[in-house]
Each structure stands twice: as structure tokens, then as C-alpha cells.
Structure 1
């Protein structure tokens, strides 16, 4: 019997790739993937479990599906992903509406879980998080012009505040041949922007090949017919000269680096098991700026970490004013159960939130200065749609990653093709985002 299955994917792009793989498995087994939950036989909620706020979002989504189930508009609910892995002993007990659960080591068992749930069983599968299969067919859930390529799974960094190693297992690089085959298929499908992702892409190959292989992988990917190749999550302590040269020299590899530093204070960095010092971060950022023309940096920052005294917080703000990182995600410290940092003294949550807002203010000044510095330039922009309220087209340049960095809005006398590259002259700013006009070329 064939069933209609809908998917809700929460959290990061890496989780989204798992969801795309599950959708392909469901379709490949003769079932049907539908876009909306309403009317589905089974709804799969693919959860994030990184932070308490992500767990709350997952529970909210599960309870929304439970309402549809009570109304007779769906039949079964399956929960997969990181929250399922993190709270495997609680989900089925605390949420009786849930009809089955798969941990992060059991994504490939989605078809049998769907069929068992529809047969009245309550599957609970938790395969090894250290050996889970990484490859496989996907049904892309991104717009057709960009897609993610996950090059590794797991993490060996063991930062004191982070639960990811316990949810995703040890670091495992995927074989380069497998990645190049998958990337070629994405290029053949019309993908123009390939976004290379993992918990830590900088360590790619160290477990498989005995040394850093990201630069070599990027040079091979650049031979494929992508227009842009974007990099996410490069850890500062593993960036090699070869990698810097590759980003600088390969035209398709964008001068955009996502470098999660979290903080700059040496005491905090050491306590959080980060392998950088402030001096090393300053030296690295200086080197990157000098050697990669037009570089745009993104980072992640956490306020209120253990040992963040008022002086350490001011040090962070001064550091940001000095290095002028263009993009930043700023988060108040969340003491996550099971992490070493949760047992350490830290400022109250309200103070961590207040400090995060102050850092956002610092970053706003940096972004405003950056935007002002590029006015008058012409930029290649990937057109992604038309905003009816603004009455302008919108898209992204190399300096904006999807979903996290905002957009460039522009006017055009002739309608551009959605999903195509155009040249936009930057002329202004609207609510912190760049605006411009399409150049006639």
C-alpha cells in the first residue's frame, strides 16, 4: 500500500540534507511525498536539538501536528533528528501523540518506520551515531539554483557548551569520489550555487587521508559547472595556507568565510575548550584580509559564557570594533544539559540576553559602515524573486548567504529571470540591507 508522507525540517542545513535523503527514500519505495502536512497519512518532524530553544520549537511543531491528528486530518506522527536522539527516553513517554521515533543514526530506516506506524506499531530506532550512512539520493528542498553538499558528519571539537558530538558522533569525512559524484549530479540538475557544509569543513580529510584535504576537494569541485561555491563553518585553528590560497585563487570559490569564533577572551576560550587565543585570532583575521581580496567574514558569537566578566564582555565589543567582521550571529549563552559549561558559573540569562543585544548594536554599526563602503559598486547578484511590498526584485551577491545574511533589493526596467545572475549597481540602503538598480548589460 502507498502512503502520503509530509516532512517538516527544523534547524540547520545539515539536518535539511538528512530530510532530503529521507524524502528520496520514501519516494523510491513507492510512497508519495507531499508538500503540506494537512491530509498526509504520516507527518515526519525532523527536529533540531542543539539548544533548548530548538527543542521548544520542535515540541511546538509536534503539538501542532497532534492537533491535526485529533481533527482527523493526518494519521501518524514520526519524530526524527537531533531532539529525538537527545531525548530518546522521553519523547514517546512525554508525547503520547507521537507514533514513532528515529535517532540520528537511523535516518535510512524511515520507510520501514512509516510502514510500521501505519500498521499500528510504534517504531523506536537508534542506530550508531558513529557509523550512520551519510550518502544517498536526495529530493532537494532548496530553490533549484542552490543546494548543500555535506562533506562530513559529526564533530571531534568537544566545545564545553556544545551537545553536537553526543548527537552526531565522531567526525567522519565522506570519500572525495563520492562527493564529486554527488556534486556532479547537483550541477547536472541546474544548481548554480553549491554550499559546502559540515559541523567543521576545515578538518575534511584528516581522518580519511591523513591530512587536510578541503583545498584539494574545492579545486576539484571548481572544475564542475557551478557558478559559485560557498563555504560554511571553518574553524580558525585548522585553516591552512593551502586553503587560503585556494579561496583566493579559485574564481568559483567565493571570498566569503564563515568562521565561528564564539568569543575572544583567552580565559573564556580555554574554559570552553576552544583551541585559539585572541592573539591567534587577530593574526588569522589579518592574514585572511591581506590574502583574499574582497573577503567578507561571518562568525558566531555567544554572550554570557562562563567567565564572561563585565571586562571580558567589553573586550569582546572592542575586539569586534577592531576586526570589523561583516556578518555575525549573536546568541546568549544557553546552559545545555549534559555539557561541561552548564555546570560552570555564568551570568543570569537576562544579563546574557542584554549583552547579546549590545553586541548586535555594535555589529549594526559595522554593517552600516560596510554597506556605506560598497555603495557605487556593481555586483553580480543571483536574482531570487520579487518583493510585492517593496516593489523590487531581490537576490544575493557573494557577500550574502541564503537565509542568514539578508538580501539585495533592486529595481529593473526589464524583468530579470528568477534564478539567474544579473549585475546590480548598489545605490542605497533600506532597513540595513543594500538596494540598487539593474544594469543594462
Structure 2
């Protein structure tokens, strides 16, 4: 979400002392604790999560951090260091999805929705004061909204002693985004923020939430994974996500399956012949082949053939560009310029129509590839992209450095 709170674009700048001090400045007292939840980048498996498919995200070092304290008066107060306008104050009993009861728009809909989802699931969550700071770039396809939601969820879980498992918190955060904020996302972003571990990519079955942590130590293999934030978000993408999701659901219904995940790779040709609506066939082809690309990536990583995933990434971008039609000129240019200058592979990541791409490179080529992408953007008259390295970090957790006590 373009208005998710942030204070910086690089990891580490919105740290524990800052967010605790920010809480004191806003609310006039010390917080009971500080929690953090990361943004994510998706290695492979795009637009498959709402098709009950397979994904492989990893947590970024960029995090949304929240300092929090309980209240006993049924009031929820929300403040972001990165959003003007002061404190948003809400009554817990008045929380309702957008369009049903009052205005719940803007960034505050995400943490408010988490409280609503927790209470709706029967968990005894009372009022709270929450202060947020974030280093997750917004509008970059790196799940800044999921980081905000999951940070809220782990803070409330800690404050009220709910004892909920990370995957359960992720499910409730997804409900908050779907049903309260009105965004029809899948569960991948919240699961990545809640459940990833350092040095690993998360291989996730989004149907039953079974998962496996896949070792992903690129440095040990002389590799780096770059994130290229194009700094653009085209308006076309505003409704396109919902349109693609509806198209996938229509295709699954036409095929008589619960979700496109149920179409086996070997059955793709027959499935395409069975779909009468020609506009739906490319959606089917992308989802089925993307699930197969996730499976291939897992096999390659398990075999220690990390470099070999590069062409799989590039193949995935072509499918997102040509079949799912969610790329854009800037994302295509990142892939073209990086692979032409020596990258092992590249693809867009996230919902599309802007945002970010990932680029797998040999460590010694990282600087030259990043330079080539920057030069290509300049030649095309585009705004200079932001480039940083994705190092798999931990999922959501409480900060335990003694600043606020634990």
C-alpha cells in the first residue's frame, strides 16, 4: 500500500531505540515492548497463492517495527512516524470492515483490521497504543502492508498472551486485509512475514500451509540476489489484481476443479483445450507452469545447484509478462538489461505493473549489473531505480535488547 508507514528506505534505520522513543514522544509513557515483522521478496511462485498453489518467498532485512502498550478502556490508538496526521483513535466495539461502518481507509485500516480479525476469532484482545516505524519500501511489491499487519499481530499476541502460532497469526492478518481493508490478496505475504527464518527461503503450500525452510545461503556459493525497485506503480494495476484473480476462479470453475493448483503440469495441454474462453487460457498456463517452476527451483536448491535457478526466474518473468500480462516496461527493462550484462536470471516480483524485480548474479558481477540497469533506465528516461541486496532474514519476533524489558 502506498501509504503504509515508513521512516527510511534502508534496513536498520528504524531501529528499536527510535521506535521506543517515538512511542514515548507520542503517548507520554514507555511501551511494554517492541516487535518487528519483515517485508518479503518472492523468489518464485507469483500469482499462485490465491490459486492454492506453491510459493517461495524470503524475508527481507527491512522491517516494520511497533512499540506497544495495553489500554483498559476499549480504545485503539494508532500512530505512524511515516504518515502525517497525528494519532488515529478508534473504539474497539465500533470496528467494522470498510463500507460497513464508517471510514476505515488509509494505512490505519491494516492494524485496525488485525484487531478486528483477532476479536472476531474469539481472542481476548483489548485496547492498545501502537506506534509504528518502517524501513520496508512502500509501493515496491515488497509487502509493506503485510509487515504492518504481522507486526501488529505479534505485538497484540505478546501484550495479551494469546499464544498463537505464527501461521495462525498470518491467516488472521490475511483475513484482515481481505475482509476489513478490502484487498483480495492471498496468504503468501503474511506467511512470509510471520514464518520465514534467516538464511532460508520458505517453500509454502498455500492450500494447507505446510511449509519447509529451504537453505538459501547465496554468499556461500558466491552469489547475490539483488532487488531492483523501479519506483513506479502504474494505475492499470489498481484493479488488475482482482481481475486476474476472478479470471483464475472462472477458469477453475470451467475445468471443474477447486483451484488451478489442481491442474497437473502434464495435463496442461488438455486443460487448455477444455477452456472455451480464450481469454482465460493464458491465466491457466501461467499458474500451472509457475507451480512447476517452483517445484523445479526446490529440486535445484536441494541438489545444491543454486546458479541453475537463474533461467527459471527469467522463464517465470516471460510467463508473467506474456501470459498473465502483469509486467510493465520498467520491469521488462530490468530483466533485459540485467541478463544482457551477465546476470544469471531475473524476474518481476510482486503483483506487477511496477514495483520490484529480483536479479540473481555472481557476487563479482553485482556492481556491474546494477550499473547496467541504472544506465538502461537513464537512457530510457526513467527515474533511477533503487537497488539493494536481499539477504534472507528472520520472520516476525519480539525485540529483546533490554530497551523496554521482556
TM-score, normalized by length of structure 1? 0.31
Greater helix share, 1 or 2?
A: 2
- Return the index of the structure with the highest Cα Rg: 1
TM-score, normalized by length of structure 2? 0.32
